[in-house]
């Protein structure tokens, strides 16, 4: 092994090249850019939530803000320590080879994500179009905690956990089978779908479940399309899919 690089046979071209030694990778400017962008978008969603609500004294919103903030701190701490390579890669926003369907997903995700907090703020706080019982808020908290834990776990073990769907030939992508990938093939999407469902429950908005449901369906569609891409183009993934049979939910799909 070299001091900073390990020699690896490229799994796609068979050309010998130097790949970064992951034990020596550190957070770089691109990783910091990703963390800054992620924190900025989260703070922006909090601002939009309270502006939509028209008030600051909304207990459900502060519970939600606290949970998401705790997740951001945990996610950052774990990934900076265990998987900075993934953060660095996510900070390179323009990626060659991104699939067309994923560009459509990226176009839809942000406005739909913000629409959830807008509708929840208008519904549960400003106009009170609907009310939820307390037990559903508790259920939302119970659901979002394991969702955040699984998402962090998946990102901690998978250096190829990028924002875009593509075969990462430039990074020597391999099939990841450890951590939550032992149980489902797309634990990150499973966690995302669960957190999208939990958010309106925590905020106490029945109407917020409508944009949440739309976005969950889009996430499921992206999961299916990405899984098909990986089976067709990533060596070893089809065999992995035969061993780990479920995409999102164990024993279901």
Rounded to an integer, what is the distance from CA 226 to the centroid of its chain? 14
End-to-end alpha carbon distance in the chain: 41
* CA–CA gap between residue 239 and residue 119 (Å, rounded): 43
Q: What is the pLDDT of residue 115?
A: 97
Whole-angstrom distance, CA of residue 126 vs CA of residue 146: 30
Kindly report, residue by residue over 157-189, the tens digit of the pLDDT: 999 998 889 998 888 899 999 999 999 999 999
Beta bridge partners of 61: none
| Average pLDDT for runs of 10 along the chain of length 253 | 33 40 78 93 96 97 98 94 92 83 91 96 97 96 97 96 89 93 97 97 98 97 96 96 94 86
Which two three-digit tokens encode residue 227? Answer: 């899984």
Best CA proximity match to 114, nearest among 211, 194, 33: 211
Q: What's the pLDDT at 149?
A: 97
The pLDDT of residue 242: 95
Alpha helices in the chain (DSSP H): 29-53, 59-82, 84-90, 100-120, 134-157, 187-203, 209-233, 237-243
Strand partners, 231: none
Give 21: exposed, middle or buried? Use CB within 10 Å, 0-12, 13-18, 19+: middle
What local confidence, expressed as pLDDT, does residue 96 receive? 81
Query: In the prediction, which pLDDT does 180 show?
Result: 97
**Cα–Cα distance, 116 to 110 (Å, whole number):** 10
The yes or no reply on domain 5-243 and CATH 1.20.120.1630 is: yes
User: Could you tell me the sign of the dihedral formed by the alpha carbons of 185, 24, 167, 34, in that order?
Assistant: positive
* Domain edges within the chain: 5-243
Q: pTM, whole model, 2 decimals?
A: 0.88
């Amino acid at each position: 092994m070299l001091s900073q690089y390990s020699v690896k046979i490229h799994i796609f071209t068979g050309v010998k090249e130097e790949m970064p030694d992951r034990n020596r990778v550190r957070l770089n400017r691109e990783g910091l850019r990703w963390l800054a962008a992620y924190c900025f978008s989260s703070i922006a969603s909090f601002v939009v939530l309270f502006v939509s609500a028209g008030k600051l004294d909304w207990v459900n919103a502060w519970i939600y803000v606290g949970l998401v903030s705790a997740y951001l701190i945990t996610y950052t701490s774990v990934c900076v320590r265990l998987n900075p390579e993934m953060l660095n890669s996510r900070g390179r926003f323009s990626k060659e080879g991104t699939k067309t369907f994923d560009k459509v997903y990226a176009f839809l995700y942000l406005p739909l994500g913000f629409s959830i907090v807008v509708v929840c703020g208008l519904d549960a706080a400003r106009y009170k179009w609907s009310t939820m019982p307390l037990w559903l808020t508790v259920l939302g908290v119970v659901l979002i905690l394991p969702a955040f834990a699984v998402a962090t776990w998946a990102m901690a073990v998978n250096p190829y956990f990028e924002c875009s769907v593509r075969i990462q030939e430039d990074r020597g992508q391999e099939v990841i089978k450890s951590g939550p990938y032992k149980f489902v093939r797309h634990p990150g999407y499973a966690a995302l779908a669960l957190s999208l469902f939990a958010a309106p429950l925590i905020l106490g908005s029945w109407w917020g479940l409508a944009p949440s449901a739309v976005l969950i369906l889009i996430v499921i569609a992206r999961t299916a399309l990405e899984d098909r891409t990986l089976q067709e183009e990533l060596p070893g993934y089809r065999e992995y899919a035969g061993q780990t049979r479920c995409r999102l939910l164990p024993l279901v799909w």
